[in-house]
Chain A
Amino acid sequence: MPASRSQSRGRGDLEQQVFAALAAGGRAMTTTDVRDALGGELAYTTVMTVLARMATKGLATRKRVGRSYAYTAVVDAAEVTAHQIHRLLDERGDRAAVLTRFARGLSREESQLLVDLLATDERAS
């Protein structure tokens, strides 16, 4: 059981990465484009399969370019949602506690302190 779960988890991760790359591109991308945007570590056919599945699910649109397809991510332009969630994030204290945020903006000085931390570490090593 754990093996199959981790396998499906792995496929979900791959799908996320492909989708994130496509969304980051913000334009129509061929399989080769997406593969390059992912660092070129994945097999062409793997990327192609994931893209094709996304198109079938309606998560990406595709149009023919020469002999292959160019894909565009269907990104949620849910402005109401974005507004609602950003309002939650902006509220301080326990209302925002329901979301775990990757990072938050700091004052310029605090933010510079983090950059310095990285720089000192690089010099030390």
Chain B
Amino acid sequence: MTTAAALGLIAIVGYALIAPAASRRLVPSVATVLLVVGNLLAAASGVFILAVLAFTWIGQFPLVAQQGAWSPAALRSDSPVPAWPAAVSGCLVMIALGSFLVAGLRQARALIAVHRACRGLRPVGDLVVLDDERPDAFSTPQPAGRVIVTSGLLRALDHRERKVLLAHENSHLAHHHAWWNLAAGLTAAVNPLLRPAARAAATAAERWADEDAARAVGDRRLVAETLVRVVQLQTHFTPSAPAAGQPVAGATGGDLEARVRGLLAPPPRRRPVLIVAAIAVFAIGSLPAAAVQHTGESLFEHAERPAAVHHT
């Protein structure tokens, strides 16, 4: 059991280290989906493994054992997990769940705030132009998602750049990118090791929208140029631009350098072999968690009290 648990935790750390770089070799749409699914699996199996470890210790408390059908003494002598790692696991699970709840609540509050703010707006298609000098463009989550662009930004762009901007933002709406980002952000809240992968997912979603925009205007370089122009406008509009080292996901536009490089490179090719490999890695990576579950179950079964007092 300890071996399986250790393997499971190593698999999660390995995923957290490798996924961000590996995802850059995939088509952005595939990368987004695989990163979010991978993060969800990694976050869930991490919490699960730690919870089972913790329970081998919690189960030894007479009060808890009374509820179950096992004897605390038998469990103590059988359990391969020493008390202190189990106790640490328990603390980590509590912290992860607490952090998940806090992040979830804050995001829910933010969603409501955005929804309220947009209620009074009158969209053209899904587009809302805000009368504002600050150059900015973003989209809000579906359903009732909106593309919001300031008049300041529209004035600064020519018609081809405006087309790029609208195509990019409409792609976010069409593919529900805000929700993929939210899911990735929550996994990073549960497990801080997954932060780089969550950031990679946000960048992949931006790359996805960039590629859609490139297809819409038929010019990859134009998309890169528009992107750099908007960055320049924003940088010069706010002299105190945010410092380097932005937080997870967030409305940051992803890793801008990666996006510009991606657009200047030839269009990404589909790599079915890599996708199959990634799915195989996910499946193998989930095995230790399954093994932990299995051995954990048999541990408690073995410690079961002979008398069939339970089940009443």
Residues in B with CB closer than 8 Å to A75 are 129-131, 151
B31 at the interface (CB under 8 A from A): no
The reply to whether B178 and A99 form a contact with Cβ atoms under 8 Å apart is yes
The reply to whether A107 and B140 form a contact with Cβ atoms under 8 Å apart is no
Residues in A with CB closer than 8 Å to B127 are 16, 19-20
The reply to whether B125 and A16 form a contact with Cβ atoms under 8 Å apart is yes
CB distance from A69 to the nearest CB of B (A): 18
Residues in B with CB closer than 8 Å to A17 are 159, 162-163, 166
The reply to whether B130 and A117 form a contact with Cβ atoms under 8 Å apart is no
The reply to whether B248 and A107 form a contact with Cβ atoms under 8 Å apart is no
Query: Please, how many angstroms separate the alpha-carbon atoms of A73 and B131 in the complex?
Result: 11
The reply to whether A86 and B260 form a contact with Cβ atoms under 8 Å apart is no
Query: Please, how many angstroms separate the alpha-carbon atoms of A19 and B151 in the complex?
Result: 11
Residues in B with CB closer than 8 Å to A99 are 114, 138-141, 178, 251
Residues in A with CB closer than 8 Å to B136 are 86, 89, 101-102
Query: Please, how many angstroms separate the alpha-carbon atoms of A118 and B217 in the complex?
Result: 18
**Interface positions of A from 92 to 121, Cβ below 8 Å from B:** 92-108, 110-111, 113-115, 117-118, 121
Number of interface residues of A (CB under 8 A): 56
The reply to whether A103 and B256 form a contact with Cβ atoms under 8 Å apart is yes
Query: Please, how many angstroms separate the alpha-carbon atoms of A103 and B137 in the complex?
Result: 8
Query: Please, how many angstroms separate the alpha-carbon atoms of A96 and B234 in the complex?
Result: 17
Contact with B along A25-48 (1 / 0, CB 8 A): 010000000000111000000000
A85 at the interface (CB under 8 A from B): yes
Number of interface residues of B (CB under 8 A): 86
Known: A19-B124, A92-B246, A94-B106. A100 touches B162 (CB 8 A): no
Contact with A along B114-149 (1 / 0, CB 8 A): 101110111011111111101011111100000111
B110 at the interface (CB under 8 A from A): yes
CB distance from B126 to the nearest CB of A (A): 7
Interface hub of B131, B260, B264 (most chain A Cβ within 10 A)? B131
Interface hub of A16, A37, A97 (most chain B Cβ within 10 A)? A97
Query: Please, how many angstroms separate the alpha-carbon atoms of A93 and B232 in the complex?
Result: 23
A-B contact pairs, 23 of them (CB 8 A): A13-B170, A16-B147, A20-B129, A20-B154, A37-B159, A54-B124, A59-B122, A76-B131, A81-B118, A84-B113, A85-B117, A85-B130, A94-B249, A98-B111, A98-B140, A99-B140, A99-B178, A101-B251, A103-B137, A105-B235, A113-B257, A114-B231, A121-B264
Residues of B within 8 A of A (CB): 103, 106-107, 109-111, 113-114, 116-118, 120-122, 124-132, 134, 136-141, 147-151, 154-155, 157, 159-160, 162-163, 165-166, 168-170, 172, 177-178, 181-182, 185, 189, 205-206, 209, 221, 224-225, 227-228, 230-232, 234-235, 237-238, 241-244, 246-253, 256-257, 260-261, 264
